[in-house]
């Protein structure tokens, strides 16, 4: 990313978030949230947490709500679950209003909820924890009559989350973090919910276990066809887990779309920098071509012209054998499969004048490269850009 990160003053001048609808929209909405607001606190000391949220979730789809701490993610999840009621707006589940003009309590919404720590009962065995979620009245007495029937269902649920029946006799403290989260999922799945809410369920796990558990949970939910909403502050988790990503900032949705769209074509600079490392350069845009220190960069469907900031992802900038674009290696961080390399760009591309209307030349950028030997201190590197950039207007 660039050395010049946005200051609080810059952030305060950001335009209002622009919602970019998903390109894979569908008429089959399982969950609909319309103009939902929520404020906490007493008169004179209120905190507006949600400010007119609009979100549609497709049946059987997976949506990740991602944003920094305090952006309103968990509050929105609690409103969907029925643990809180909105101040205004409407929430519909499968065509029925559950909050707004009518109110349906949490226990009647048929929604599963998995918390960050799993929230297993420590005094109960794994089997008893899972059975706690069984509702004999809902599933039918004949199916769940007696201990044997309950034990059979518990074993089915354990198999669903890739654990064998012997785990039923264990206590939660005898399980790994990943196993505890899978038990929490099995308990939530016991009621055969229509919608599953996951509130940062993988954040307490170490990196390797986190990825494995996330894949296992995603596989179970996809196989069962359960509509799923994941709340997370982990950008990579949101992009890899969901087929729709909603980015929250300051109680609003800044952007909604499939993972590829929100990552490669973010709605604004703040969203771009939250979703991953970004190279931001001063540029002059005419038509669909932006001129900057990295040469001419194509921009798809630009919404502004003239003096702009151009955004590229670090992986778009490659080391080339020959190129008019050059930079000097300042330092690097080695991460095993790749290195993060900080480069100071030359004052102008070789043989090309730099547009006097932009503040270009000498900018510091960060790229990623797989070969650490190619990025030694002081090395001069030829660079090329792959793909398109995204242009953001200059804030007044």
Which pLDDT belongs to residue 59?
A: 93
Which pLDDT belongs to residue 206?
A: 80
Residue with the bigger pLDDT between 360 and 265: it is 265
Task: Find residue 368's DSSP bridge partners.
Answer: 340
Q: What does residue 305 show for φ and ψ, rounded to 5 degrees? A: -135, 170
Which pLDDT belongs to residue 394?
A: 85
Percent of the chain with pLDDT over 90: 52
Which pLDDT belongs to residue 321?
A: 87
Which pLDDT belongs to residue 356?
A: 61
DSSP string, 255-289: EEE-HHHHHHS-SSHHHHHHHS--EEEEEEEETTE
Element (H, E) at 132: none
- What whole-number distance in Å separates Cα of residue 386 and Cα of residue 1? 17
**For the segment 337-360, what is each residue's pLDDT rounded down to a tens digit?**
888 899 999 876 655 656 666 666
What's the mean pLDDT in 371-381? 81
pLDDT higher than 60, residue 15: no
Which pLDDT belongs to residue 212?
A: 82
At 374, the pLDDT band (50, 70, 90 cuts) reads: confident
Burial 18-41 (b: 16+ CB within 10 A, else e): ebbebeeeeeebbbbbbebbbeee
**For the segment 127-172, what is each residue's pLDDT rounded down to a tens digit?**
999 988 775 544 444 444 567 788 888 988 888 888 888 999 999 9
Q: Pairing mode, if any, of strands 364-369 and 195-199?
A: unpaired
Q: How far apart are the first and last CA of the chain?
A: 22
What's the mean pLDDT in 315-328? 91
Percent of the chain with pLDDT over 70: 85
Query: What is the torsional sign of CA 217, 235, 242, 339?
Result: negative
Task: Find residue 34's DSSP bridge partners.
Answer: 90
3-state SS, residue 204:
coil
Residues 86, 33: contact at Cβ < 8 Å? no
Residue boundaries of the structural domains of the chain: 8-264, 277-393
**Cβ of 305: how many Cβ atoms within 10 Å?**
14
pLDDT higher than 70, residue 11: no
What's the mean pLDDT in 1-21? 41
Q: Pairing mode, if any, of strands 289-292 and 339-345?
A: unpaired
Which pLDDT belongs to residue 174?
A: 92
Task: Give the single-character DSSP code of 387.
Answer: S
Which pLDDT belongs to residue 162?
A: 82
Domain 8-264 in CATH 3.40.50.300 = yes
At 389, the pLDDT band (50, 70, 90 cuts) reads: very high
**Which range, 22-26, 46-50, 83-87, has the best average confidence (pLDDT)?**
83-87
Lowest mean pLDDT among 55-64, 143-152, 210-219, 266-275: 143-152
**For the segment 179-198, what is each residue's pLDDT rounded down to a tens digit?**
888 888 889 888 889 999 99
- What whole-number distance in Å separates Cα of residue 392 and Cα of residue 394? 7
Query: What is the torsional sign of CA 178, 184, 189, 195?
Result: negative
Q: What is the dihedral of CA 271, 277, 281, 284, to 10 degrees?
A: -50
Query: What is the torsional sign of CA 358, 359, 360, 364?
Result: negative
What's the mean pLDDT in 261-285? 94
Which pLDDT belongs to residue 201?
A: 84
Residue with the bigger pLDDT between 150 and 284: it is 284
Q: Nearest-5° angle of CA 319, CA 325, CA 329?
A: 55
DSSP string, 289-308: EEEETTEEEEBSS-S--EEE
Which pLDDT belongs to residue 348?
A: 65
Supply the pTM of this predicted model.
Answer: 0.83
pLDDT higher than 70, residue 23: no
Mean residue pLDDT across the chain: 84
Which pLDDT belongs to residue 56?
A: 95
Which pLDDT belongs to residue 178?
A: 82
């Amino acid at each position: 990313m660039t050395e010049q990160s946005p200051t609080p003053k810059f952030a305060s001048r950001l335009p209002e978030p622009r919602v970019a609808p998903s390109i894979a929209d569908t008429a089959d909405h399982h969950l609909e949230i319309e103009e939902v607001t929520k404020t906490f606190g007493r008169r004179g000391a209120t905190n507006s947490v949600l400010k007119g949220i609009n979100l549609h979730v497709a049946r059987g789809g997976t949506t990740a709500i991602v944003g920094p701490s305090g952006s309103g993610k968990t509050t929105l999840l609690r409103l969907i679950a029925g643990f809180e009621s909105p101040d205004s707006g409407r929430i519909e589940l499968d065509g029925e209003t559950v909050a707004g003009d009518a109110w349906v309590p949490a226990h009647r919404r048929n929604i599963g909820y998995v918390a960050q720590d799993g929230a297993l009962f420590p005094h109960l065995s794994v089997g008893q924890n899972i059975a706690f979620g069984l509702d004999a009245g809902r599933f039918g007495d004949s199916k769940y009559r007696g201990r044997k029937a309950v034990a059979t269902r518990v074993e089915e649920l354990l198999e669903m989350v890739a654990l064998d029946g012997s785990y039923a006799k264990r206590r939660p403290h005898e399980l790994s973090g990943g196993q505890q989260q899978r038990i929490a999922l099995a308990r939530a799945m016991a009621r055969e919910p229509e919608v599953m809410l996951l509130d940062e369920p993988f954040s307490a796990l170490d990196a390797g276990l986190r990825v494995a558990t996330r894949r296992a949970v995603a596989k179970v939910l996809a196989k069962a066809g359960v509509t799923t909403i994941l709340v997370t502050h982990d950008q990579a988790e949101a992009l890899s887990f969901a087929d729709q990503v909603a980015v929250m900032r300051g109680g609003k949705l800044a952007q909604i779309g499939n993972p590829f769209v929100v990552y490669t074509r973010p709605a604004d600079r703040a969203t771009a920098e939250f979703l991953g490392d970004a190279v931001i350069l001063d540029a002059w845009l005419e038509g669909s071509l932006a001129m900057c220190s990295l040469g001419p960069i194509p921009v798809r469907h630009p919404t502004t012209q003239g003096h702009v900031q151009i955004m590229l992802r670090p992986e778009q900038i490659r080391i080339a054998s020959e190129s008019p674009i050059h930079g000097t290696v300042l330092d690097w961080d080695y991460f095993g499969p790749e290195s993060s390399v900080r480069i100071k760009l030359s004052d102008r591309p070789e043989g090309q004048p730099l547009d006097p209307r932009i503040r270009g030349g000498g900018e510091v950028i960060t790229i990623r490269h797989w070969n650490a030997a190619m990025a030694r201190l002081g090395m001069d590197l030829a660079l090329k850009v792959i793909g398109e950039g995204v242009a953001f207007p200059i804030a007044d």
